[in-house]
Structure 1
Amino acid sequence: MVPPLALDIDGTLTTPTGRIDPRVFELLPGWEAPVVFATGKAFPYPVALAHFLGRDETVIAENGGVAHVDGETTTVGDPDAAQAVVEAFRERGGKVGWGNGDTVNRWRETEVALSLDADETLLREVAAAAGGDVEVVDTGYAYHVKSVGVSKGTALEVVADALDLAPEAFVAVGDSVNDVSTFGVAGESYAVADADDAAREAADAVLDDGFMDGTQAVLSELRGRAE
């Protein structure tokens, strides 16, 4: 049998230009084990991906702030604390950076994401002044202001328990510092070649190829083992 998967989305299931790679729609609909989409994006994004793949909407969103499995949604973290940091950042002249019609944060429930154009030094200074309960995570796609202790790895443990599986049963693939916690609880972990240093150091193996090329290679290997 193929193993269950914990898959990041951006940089892992995408092309270098940020589009969902069409191979996702070839390889994942028929995967004969649970697939968890674990992302820093807001909750609707991984749900939509699972829906259009015809898979159960088993997802981790907002870097672990939201976990959804078997129709039940769990949220953790303090969104008010994250929002307070961002408001203080704005008061000191900082800009969130998404422009008008901010769909990046519109449906976000547990954290706030800022554009990489935002003043990172000022943002981290404001977050530190908030007292240590809020942190800033640079995923390479955005600066995420979130509660300390919230992570994809912790959320994967919640999802695995709901599925009556051990977290160690999962194979995880990712590309960023926010995947390090997932790698820590999954039984097997891979960083695609475009991964940042934190992910590369935490993974069991770094793939030769980046983006969906690397993920496809892992899925092909896992299927080959199962045959």
Structure 2
Amino acid sequence: MVPPLVLDIDGTLTTPDHRVDRRVFEILPNWEAPVVFATGKAFPYPVALAHFLGLPETVIAENGGVIHADGVTEFAGDPDACWAVAEEFIERGGDLGWGGRTTVNRWRETEVAVSMDADEELLREIAADHGQTVVDTGYAYHVKSPDVSKGSAFETLCEEYRYDPDRFVAIGDSENDVSTFEAAGESYAVANADSVAREAADDVLSEGHMDGTASVLERLLTEAGPDR
């Protein structure tokens, strides 16, 4: 049998120009073990990806702030505190960014995403004053509660649905994937991963983005054999 997977999306299942790689739609729909999408994106995004792949909508969104499985949704963290950070940031001259795009945070339930062009030092200062933290995913600064992470959400999901986390293979590219790497049995950082993720992973792949992820998935399929 192939092992269950816990997969980041951006930088891991995408091309360098941020598109979902077509191989996702070739490999994952027939994966004969649970697949968990664990992302920093807002809740609807991983649900939509699972839906269009024909997979169960088993997702961790917003860096662990949202867990959805078997039709049940759970939330963690303090969104009011996160928005208090954002409001003070704006009052003190900061800009959430996104060029007027409201969809970045429109459906976000538990955190606030801020553009990488923002004043990081000011954002982190205000977040600390409010007892919140900032995670740099390489795509955005995420203001969130410090006790929320992909890894803690993954552990909760495994406990509630009787998954063995040691059987899971985790693949990711950013510091927000480190906690998942620590919780899963086997972990890989794609070649484009940041230094924190590379240090935490069991193995750093020679190829980046979906090229690296596909190399792992294809090997796992080969090892499982024709009778998987």
Smaller-chain TM-score bracket? over 0.9
Aligned residue number for residue 35 of structure 1: 35
Aligned residues between the structures? 225
C-alpha separation between the residues in 1 aligned to 2:157 and 2:128?
Answer: 31
Query: Distance in 1 between the 2:21 and 2:13 partners?
Result: 6
**Residue 117 (str. 1) matches residue 90 (str. 2):** no
User: Considering only aligned residues, what root-mean-square deviation do their CA atoms show, in Å?
Assistant: 0.8
Match of residue 198, structure 1, among 196, 199, 204: 196
Report the CA distance between 1:101 and its aligned residue: 3.9
Is 1:173 matched with 2:136? no
Mapped partners of 1:82, 1:184: distance in 2: 26
Equivalent position SS for 2:142: strand
From 158, 161, 169, the equivalent of 2:159 is: 161
Q: What is the distance in 2 between the residues matched to 1:148 and 1:129?
A: 13
Instruction: Work out the CA distance in 2 between the residues paired with 1:73 and 1:144.
Output: 21
TM-score, normalisation: structure 1: 0.98
Partner SS state of residue 100, structure 2: coil
| SS of 1:145 mapped into structure 2 | strand
What does the per-residue CA deviation read over 1:123-169, in whole Å, with 9 as the maximum and x for residues that have no partner? Answer: 11111222xx2001111000000001100001111222233211111
TM-score by length of 2: 0.97
1:86 corresponding residue in structure 2: 86
Runs of at least 5 residues in structure 1 that lack an aligned partner in the other structure: none
State the alpha-carbon separation in 2 of the partners of residues 101 and 17 from structure 1: 19
What is residue 64 of structure 1 aligned with on the other side? 64
Of the structure 1 ranges 118-127 and 206-215, higher mean CA displacement relative to structure 2 is found in 118-127
Q: For each residue in 1:167-226, what CA deviation from the matched residue of structure 2 results, as whole angstroms up to 9, or x when unmatched? A: 111100000000000000000000000000000000000001000000000001111221
Contact 1:79–1:111 (CA under 8 A) maintained in structure 2: yes
Percent of aligned pairs with the same residue?
70
Partner of 1:100: 100
Aligned equivalents of 2:184 and 2:176: distance in 1?
14
AA of the residue aligned to 1:97: G
